Every structure is written in C-alpha cells, then in structure tokens.
Structure 1
Amino acid sequence: MTRRRPIRPLAAALTLALIAPGVAFGQTAKERELEARIAQLEAQVQALLQGQQQTQATVEQTQASVAATQTQLDEVRVAQGAPGDGKPRIQSAPILTGGNPGSVFSYGGFIKLDAMTTDTSDGAIAEGSAGRLFYVPATIPVVANGAEPDTDPYTDFHAAFSRFWLAADWTSEGGDKFRGFIEADMFGGGSANLGNEVATNTHGVTLRHAYVTWNKWLAGQTWSNFQDVAALPEAVDFVGVTEGTTFVRQAQVRYTSGPFSIALENPLTTVSSVDTAARNSAGGSNLMPDVTARWVGKGDWGHFSVAGLLRQLKSGDESTSGAAVSLSGRFNLGDSDDIRWMANYGSGIGRYLAFGLGADAVLDANGELHSQTGAGGFVAWRHAFTPQLRSNLMYSVAEFDNDRGLAGWGPGSWAAIERAQSFHANLIYSPFPKLDIGAEVSWGERALEDDRKGDLKRIHTTVKYSF
C-alpha cells in the first residue's frame, strides 16, 4: 500500500504535462479564427465605406443636375409667366436658340390710337398723305391764285404709329458688351390690294431702327448723330415741334467715347430748281458720307448738346459742300417744370430739318449747284400738375434763305417755301402706369416767297399704352 502512493502524483504530473500543450494549441487556433473573423469584418466595413462614398458622389452629381435643370425650368417659367398658374405653356426652350449662351432677350413697344379733326384754310390735305396722320408743315395747302377755297373740317382716326422692338444683349467673358436692336411701326402706308380706309385699314410695317453695338461702336440704322432726341418735348402728335427740330433716321457707323460721338452717315442730297421752285427731288450720286459729331454735357440741372454736320452736296456732275450746327438741351426748373429747346443753322441743312421742308441745294438756270441756307428751332415748357397730369406748351419755326440773286430767279421761284411755324398746347393724363390719354390743340402756317400763306388748325387726341 505504501509503495503505490508515489505513483499518483507522478501520474497526475504526467497527465498535466500531456494536456497543457493541447490547451495551448487550442487557444492559438481560436485566436486565429477570431483574427480571421475580425479581418473579414474589417474588409466588409471598408467595402461598405467605399460604397457609401460612391453613393454620396452619385447623389451629389444627381442633385447638381436637378438644380441646373430646375434653374433652366425657372427661367423658362419666368419668361412665360408665374409658375403654377395652371396656364398652358407655348415656350419650352430658350428664346434665343441661335444666340450666345447667357444672352438676354427683351421686347417692348406701345399701342397708340390717334384721332384728329383738321381745318385747313386753303383746301384739304390730300387723302393718304402723311399730313393726314400727323403734323407735316410741308403738306399745309397754299392755293396758287390766292383765293381761299371753302373747305369744311375733316376727321381722321388711325393706329399707324403703334410700334414694337426687340433686343438681344450679351456680355463676353472678357467684358465686351454687345446689343442687337430692331424696332418697327405701322407707318408703312396702306395697300390698294390688301386694304385701305374702305375696309381693313391695312398698314405696312416700317423699319425704324436696326443696329448692333459693340462697346463704343454702333453700326446700323438709328437716329442721326446730328439729332438730340432727348430734347424733344412730350407731344400728342408724332413730333409736334416739326419745323424746328432735326429729324433723321439713317444707316451709319458711330463711335462714342464719354460725352463725345462721331459718325459717318448715309449721304443724300435734296435739290430744287430755281426757275420752277419744283418740289425737292433727291439726288443719289453722293460719293462722300455725311460726317456728324456731337458733345453732350449732363447734370441734375438737365443737359446741353452741341452737334456739327459736314456734307457733300451733289446732283449729277455738279457738287458743292454744306455745313451746319445744332444747339439743344433741357433745363430742369424744379421737380415739376422744365424747358426744352433747340436751335439749328447752316447751309445744306434742308434734309435734316423739319422733315425736309426745304432743299439742301438749289440748281440755278446755268446748271450750277448752290447750297441753301436754313435755320430753325423750338422752345417748349413742360409742367406737371400731379404725377399723373402734365401739360406742354410749344412753339416751333423754320426759315430758308431763297437766294433771289441766282441766275434764273423768276416768277416761278416765288412759290418757294420761305417760312413755317406752329404753336401746340396739350394736356396728358395717366390714370394708370403706362397708360396715357392726351389732347392737343395746334395751329400751323406755311408761307411762300410771294407772301401767300396757308394755315392749319387741329384738335388731336390719343390713347397710348406702353409695354
């Protein structure tokens, strides 16, 4: 019994020695299994993170695309009307499909009804004449024998001076500014085949302006650089102060730098014959363009402008020169009043003054061409009674020096126009923004060299809506 006891501790030690390495080996396998599991989870987490990043990038790209599309849709909706108003759309793409990206399109104009009653001393103005639509002093009748016919007043209605314009503006990345502009009205005359006052009162579309500007340059048709449009008074008539204002629209190339501008403009000479005082005929044989220059000073007080004109006058093989100057401006007299004025003088000024009331040049009996001197001007006072109600008083005059010393001056020459003048007074009311209702009374007179005169009295009303 005593010999067996030492065996038990030895067996226990041997057993423990045999089991211990197994236990150690078992823990190492478990750890490896866990490490493998952790690595697998880490790979899965990394894959999920990469997928999330890709998904986020896709989401951001999609959001940017949606925002750009929404912006384009908003632009179209703004151009067509307020979004969500339930109205059908006729425009689903940019208006300027052929324009530079980022171009801005604009449209405007007005609708104008003119109604007038006219009384002329020496017979009615010819039906279909421009003088039946607005005040043209050259159309005032003056009878040949001095006997004044008994003519009743006559009334005319028309909407021929309604107009519209379109413009496209664009600025390049370098800051260059461009504009294309075109404007038309309905003062193109009627057509015997398409309509007249008997039935449809059809009028043709007339080009007023068509030009492009690039920074300081202008090319195309617009107001002559010799004309100060900003000095014109507010008239119910198309112009009102016709005799005293320069008024020409024509093709030109113009350069403007600050207050100064210079232009080369379309040349055309109007010529009358001294022995017959025939109505002016146009000579289209000019070689040199008309040269105009203008300077404008502006301030809170208003503006002042001085312009010059140099011309070649030509008819057939005969030619001479002409030069003229124009001073004009507007003086503000407080918040409710201003004075607008113009004074013009020079040789060869005829085509530029009073719708060509006088000729640029005269052809004498020897076939020699002489420039004709003319002068004209106007003054107008504007007073605003209220922000909606204002009035204008205007006086306008033009005179021409018909040289009686020219060869061939004779009895037929006494019919040449010596002078024209007119007075106008109006009242214009704007009950709503952009809506004008006006009435104007006018008196005009045309006088010839032989002292014969014809006058015009007119009541002119209008309704005009601008947009």
Structure 2
Amino acid sequence: MKLCTLIKNTALLSALVTTSLQAASLQDTQFTFGGYIKLDAIASQYSDGSLPSGNIGRDFYIPGLTPVGGEDEGTAFDMHARQTRFNFSSDTALANGKSLKATIELDFMATPNGDERVSNSYSPRLRIATIAYDGWLFGQTWSTFQDVAVLPETLDFIGATDGTIFVRQAMIRYSKGGFSGALENPETTITPFGGGGRIVSDDNSIPDLVLRYTHKQNWGHISAATLIRQLAYDDGSSLDTTENAVALSISAKLNLGRDDVRMMYNTGSGMGRYLGINAANGAVLNASGELESIDSSGGFIAYRHLWNEQWRTTLSYSWFSADNETSLTGMGVTQSTRSARVNAIYSPSKELSFGVEYSHARRDLENESQGDMDRLQFSAKYAF
C-alpha cells in the first residue's frame, strides 16, 4: 500500500515539475498569430482568345500568360478567397541574452486549382518558414534580391508584376546594419534551341549569391542588390553545360507627407524566374547544346495618395523587356510586357477594407504578335 502511495506521489511530483518547466519555458516565449481573409471578384477581357478554366493567370496577373494570337476576344469572371493567409510566429528570450524567432506562413494559392463544381477546396501551401538568430536567417522567405518594402498596394496578388523581382525560396542569410548577404536555392529555366517550351533544370552545383545594401532615412529608403548565379543543365546523356550570370536591382520608397512613391529597376543577364514571374527564361540552348544567358530588364513606378483617413488610391505602371537571340529562341517568345493599374480602397477601420481596381496589360512576342488584357477587380479584406 505504501509502495503504491509512493509511486503515485512520485508520478504527481514529476507531473508538477514538468508542468512548471513548461510554464517557465512559455514565460520566455511570446507567440503571435495573424493573417487576413480576402475575397476577390475578377472580370477579365482578352483581345486574343482567353485563358482556360483553372489557369492561375485568371486568379492574378501573370505577364507571360496574357493570350496572344487568338482569333476572337475572350471574357472570364472568377470569384475566390484563395489569397486568404495566416501566419504564426514565436519570439523566445534565450539564456544567453539573445532572441530566437520563428515564423510559418501559409496561403491557398497552390496549383493545380481545386474543384469549383461543389466545394471550391484549395490546398494550403507553404509561403514562409524561417528561423532567425543573432543576425542569421535559415529557412524559406522572400529572396534577398527582392525589396518587399516597395511593392505597391494593389488588389491584385502582386500588382506591378512585369518589372518586379518576386521570388520566395530557401536560403541562409546574414544581415547586419543595412547589409545583407545570402546563399539561396538555385533553379534554372531554359528555352530549348528553336523555342517551343521551357526546361526547368535543378542541375546547379552552387547556390545563388545575393548581396544587398539598404540606406534608410526619414524620407524613405534606397536599396541596391546584386545577383550572381550559375545557370546549369544536364540532360543525363550528352549535354552538361553551365553559364554564369549577373544582375542588378535598384529600388526606393520616397515619403511625400502621407503619400509615397515606390519604384524599382532591374537589369542583367540570366534573371529568368526572378523577374516578372519568369516572363523570359534565364538561358537558351544554342545549336551546340551550350547555355547562353538571356538579358532582360524591367521596372515599375507607383504613387499612393491618401485622400483622407478612410480612402486611398494607388496608380502604378510596370514594364518588362527581354533581349532574345531569336535565331536561338525562335520568334514565339515574349519580347515585352507592360501593365498599368489604378485602384480606390476604402477602410472603415484599419482591419477592414473594400476596394476596386482597373488594370490594362499588353504582351508582345518577337514575331510582332500582341495581346491585350483589361481587368476589373473587387476585393474585400479583413486583416487580423
């Protein structure tokens, strides 16, 4: 009997000690949860055909997907809540006086699309998963080559997409003061000799290197970044080729009282998937089976005006251009894209907003074919 009592008391004491240790641990950690719920209603009109049902380009603007060469105009209406996202973060005070931060963020923009017949179900996807400690960051987040702070406020998922660096990927980054340096996950997109598709290659032997410096002042900030990368392709048979590439990105945000101007310019070789959501590939295969990098450039400028405490408007223009060697890529590749958009957003409170946005986009191919898109979008968003 005494043995049973001793065992019970020991178990109870162990449970109390464990609970106390967990409570002490939680006292050193702060947890936060946030995100938003967003509804989008999108009406699109295309001059040269239409995008098929389920194409991601109907849910948000992708420059390289504007239809070109169709015989008739096309229209489409879509409504979804796929941009809805949530994030979870922790901040732990460590015994050595430093802090350990972790973040996980998901949304529902994964492809392929869900079934719209009955349930409109969409799978969650990983956006961000990071560990930050003593100036170091490990995990997946926005590329160091992208200045997230200058992205314009748009109802579209990205907005000024043509000239925007837009990539999330795994990396190891170190930051101190205004300087950041990162080794990031490499991936090469390639145009086959003569055109006719895209090869996605994961044959790189070294990571992409990004160096960035940002100067902040009361008037805003200016930032410059360099991307140094290896483009690689190995078909497992006779082709095994690499090419080096370098690109530059300059961005700025200028505060004009309560208003602001945001801008970005990007240029260089082999940017590929980094610019305009892969409007052009990073390289092309020549007749000898060797990679040649593709030069490209693009940028945007956006102006945001606050009419009062509840109403605001953003006007933006964005462009992209590729310097294709048409004897290698063929004439059916994208030569340039551009888009302009204007919106009006009403916020009865800081958590809730309603908006309407009009955008016009154009895509030109090397064969001089072109296609236009006009889009009207309504959104309702609750941020928490």
Q: TM-score of the superposition, structure 1-length normalised?
A: 0.75
Residue 150 (structure 1) shift: 3.8
Matched, 1:234 2:156: no
Query: 255, 260, 269: which is aligned to 1:338?
Result: 260
**CA distance in 2: counterparts of 1:157 and 1:138, whole angstroms:** 22
Look up the equivalent residue of 2:318 and give its one-letter code. S
Do the aligned partners of 2:319 and 2:339 also contact (CA within 8 Å) in 1?
A: yes
Residue 107 (structure 1) shift: 0.4
Residue 334 (structure 1) shift: 1.8
Look up the equivalent residue of 2:36 and give its one-letter code. F
**CA distance in 2: counterparts of 1:179 and 1:393, whole angstroms:** 36
Matched, 1:351 2:273: yes
Aligned residue for 1:359, secondary structure, equals coil
Give the structure with the larger helix fraction: 1
> Which structure has the bigger radius of gyration?
1
Look up the equivalent residue of 2:243 and give its one-letter code. T
Q: Any stretches of 5+ residues in structure 2 without a counterpart?
A: 1-18, 235-239
Structure 1 residues 200 and 271: alpha-carbon distance in aligned structure 2, compared to 1, 3 A threshold:
same
Aligned residue for 1:454, secondary structure, equals strand
Matched, 1:278 2:212: no
Matched, 1:131 2:54: no
Do the aligned partners of 1:190 and 1:201 also contact (CA within 8 Å) in 2?
A: no
**CA distance in 2: counterparts of 1:229 and 1:280, whole angstroms:** 28
Match of 2:357?
Answer: 440
Do the aligned partners of 1:190 and 1:202 also contact (CA within 8 Å) in 2?
A: no
Q: Percent identity?
A: 41
Aligned residue for 2:375, secondary structure, equals strand
**CA distance in 2: counterparts of 1:364 and 1:237, whole angstroms:** 37
- RMSD between aligned residues: 1.8
- 1:362-408 per-residue CA deviation (whole Å, 9 max, x = no partner) reads 0012211101100000000110000111001000000000124x5x5
> How does 1:68-217 map onto structure 2 within 5 Å?
101-143=27-69, 148-151=71-74, 153-189=75-111, 196-217=115-136
**CA distance in 2: counterparts of 1:425 and 1:243, whole angstroms:** 15
Residue 101 (structure 1) shift: 4.8
Q: TM-score of the superposition, structure 2-length normalised?
A: 0.91
Match of 2:7?
Answer: none
Aligned residue for 1:230, secondary structure, equals helix
Query: 337, 340, 359: which is aligned to 1:423?
Result: 340
Residue 274 (structure 1) shift: 3.4
Do the aligned partners of 2:337 and 2:363 also contact (CA within 8 Å) in 1?
A: yes
- 1:267-317 per-residue CA deviation (whole Å, 9 max, x = no partner) reads 110000231x22322111100100001100111101100000000110111
Structure 1 residues 123 and 99: alpha-carbon distance in aligned structure 2, compared to 1, 3 A threshold:
farther
Residue 171 (structure 1) shift: 1.3
Residue 99 (structure 1) shift: 5.8
Do the aligned partners of 2:50 and 2:73 also contact (CA within 8 Å) in 1?
A: no
Structure 1 residues 432 and 283: alpha-carbon distance in aligned structure 2, compared to 1, 3 A threshold:
same
Aligned residue for 2:331, secondary structure, equals helix
Look up the equivalent residue of 2:382 and give its one-letter code. Y
**CA distance in 2: counterparts of 1:97 and 1:419, whole angstroms:** 58
Match of 1:298?
Answer: 216
Structure 1 residues 97 and 311: alpha-carbon distance in aligned structure 2, compared to 1, 3 A threshold:
farther
Q: Any stretches of 5+ residues in structure 1 without a counterpart?
A: 1-92
Structure 1 residues 322 and 99: alpha-carbon distance in aligned structure 2, compared to 1, 3 A threshold:
farther
**CA distance in 1: counterparts of 2:233 and 2:26, whole angstroms:** 45
- Which ranges of 4 or more aligned residues in structure 1 deviate by more than 4 Å? 96-101
Give the structure with the larger strand fraction: 2
Residue 100 (structure 1) shift: 5.9
**Higher RCO (CA-CA < 8 Å; seq separation 6+):** 2
Structure 1 residues 434 and 149: alpha-carbon distance in aligned structure 2, compared to 1, 3 A threshold:
same
How many residue pairs are counted as aligned between the two chains? 361
